[in-house]
Amino acid sequence: MKLWDKGYEIDSLVERFTIGRDRELDRLLARADILGNIAHARMLRAIGLLDDDEEKALVEALREIHRDVEAGRFSIDPGVEDIHSGIEFLLTERLGDTGKKIHAGRSRNDQVLLDLKLFTRHALFELLDRVEALFSLLLERAGEGREILLPGYTHLQIAMPSSFGLWFGAYAESLAEDLVMLKAARDIVNTNPLGTGAGYGSSLPLDRRMTTRLLAFDDLAYNPVHAQMQRGKMEQTVLFALSRVALTIGRLAADACLFASPNFGFITLPDRYTTGSSIMPHKKNPDVFELTRARCNRLQSLPAQVGMIAANLTSGYFRDMQLVKECYLPAFGELDDCLCMVALVLRDVVLSRDILDDDRYRYLFTVEEVNRAVAAGAPFREAYREVGDRVQRGEFSVTDRRLHHSHEGSTGNLCLDSIRDKFARGRSGWNISAIRAAEQALLE
């Protein structure tokens, strides 16, 4: 079944090429399509295109389909083009002509865009929970590691003393700032395209504010041409937000691979989180972090892929947008997997103590020595030159390795509560409870 079916057959190769992966990927949109159909049915009754009995029958049937989706009993038949055709086919099969009325005032264009927005909104909420769980773990481990020193690096050269408190806290604060992009993506997603049709509106007296209210959108996408121009642009914006999180997680994973290497030995991964070698019996490989790094790098490429698909398109809808689904919909699950695995392993990572007792790290304290001289009244440049000369002559040593860092964010003042407040500010304003309540009201 196809929503555009006009009674003639098309070539089977053309059909397979144009349908692509829709049957596979559209299952992710089933819940969203049902929500949109229920809201649309209620609006059609309000404007007189459905009577009370027809609206009730449609809503009850849609809720039954939703229960099948939740129970894992829903599938898209091979002869059905996509999720939108599949659900309309089920409604027609169960309700006859009443099922055929559900598409009045809609195009598949605004239906697809609506589904993508509802799916994305729900996926962002779930992603936010996963990010918050990792953030909380990072802060917890930062507190545990505030007194455990490790070397800091610039250019992969030994630089200055750092700590596990700084290391874990850095990634926590990075996630807090990533929320700014996620919240911006959520705001762009949460506008209602339903009723814009194929991009030019409808001659039917649709009540678009009603569907906006029923689906708990913040606002309408008013101009119908603009609404369709959101395709590609919306997905790219969301993927930019996901890629910022992926950048944070990928960099953390790269650090973990380095720190777990015996040449560094800063952390130890529990055996159950490592893999082995088929030839070297001593190997314990950090594959979780290596694959996380690779997956996060791939996620960072997705905005560019979408940008290339949407490049140079004029206004109006094009089938090019179908390909965006293939890199867009799976991205949420991939990032969720990375967040889950990183949190799982980091919780049990063992931190090495007394790392700086190794003499190779003696030059970490050159800046500390310079600052001691400056605090005693010496000009900075003279203190810098004097310590540098001692290093060059091989005469530099330091007996006092205590750190006296007190400014905001330093090893002695991690500002973890302030970082937690920063995250809380990014977490606010998502309106999650109201949106979930509105969706439940439609589904129940």
Q: Quick one: 11 exposed, middle or buried, by C-beta within 10 A (0-12, 13-18, 19+)?
A: exposed
Q: What is the mean pLDDT of residues 261-282?
A: 89
DSSP track, 142-195: HHHTTT-EEEEEETTEEEEEEEHHHHHHHHHHHHHHHHHHHHHHHHHH-EE-TT
For residues 56 and 294, give the distance between their C-alpha atoms in angstroms, rounded to a whole number.
49
- Name the more confident of 221 and 76: 221
Q: What is the mean pLDDT of residues 6-23?
A: 62
Q: What is the mean pLDDT of residues 338-348?
A: 97
pLDDT at 80 over 50: yes
Structure tokens that stand for 119 in this block: 């799916």
pLDDT the model gives residue 157: 94
pLDDT the model gives residue 78: 76
All structural domains of the chain: 12-103 (1.10.275.10), 108-357+414-443 (1.20.200.10)
What pTM value is reported for the model?
A: 0.91
Amino acid symbol at 201: G
Considering 24-33, 218-227, 269-278, the range whose residues carry the highest mean pLDDT is 218-227
pLDDT the model gives residue 133: 98
pLDDT at 142 over 60: yes
Give tens-digit pLDDT for 223-254.
Answer: 999 999 999 999 999 999 999 999 999 999 99
**What b/e sequence results for 106-123 when a residue is b if at least 16 CB atoms lie within 10 Å of its CB, and e otherwise?**
bbbbbbbbbbbbbbbbbb
Give tens-digit pLDDT for 94-137.
Answer: 999 999 999 999 998 999 999 999 999 999 999 999 999 999 99
pLDDT the model gives residue 352: 96
Q: What is the mean pLDDT of residues 332-353?
A: 97
- At 4, the pLDDT band (50, 70, 90 cuts) reads very low
Give tens-digit pLDDT for 394-430.
Answer: 999 887 778 888 899 888 889 999 999 999 999 999 9
Is 404 in contact with 412 (CB distance < 8 Å)? yes
Q: What is the mean pLDDT of residues 374-386?
A: 95
Give tens-digit pLDDT for 154-185.
Answer: 999 999 999 999 999 999 999 999 999 999 99
Q: Range with the lowest mean pLDDT among 65-69, 296-300, 302-306, 359-363? A: 359-363
- At 344, the pLDDT band (50, 70, 90 cuts) reads very high
Amino acid symbol at 359: D
- At 336, the pLDDT band (50, 70, 90 cuts) reads very high
- At 373, the pLDDT band (50, 70, 90 cuts) reads very high
Q: What is the mean pLDDT of residues 359-378?
A: 92
Is 174 in contact with 384 (CB distance < 8 Å)? no
Mean pLDDT of the chain: 92
- At 79, the pLDDT band (50, 70, 90 cuts) reads confident
For residues 122 and 10, give the distance between their C-alpha atoms in angstroms, rounded to a whole number.
36
pLDDT the model gives residue 281: 85
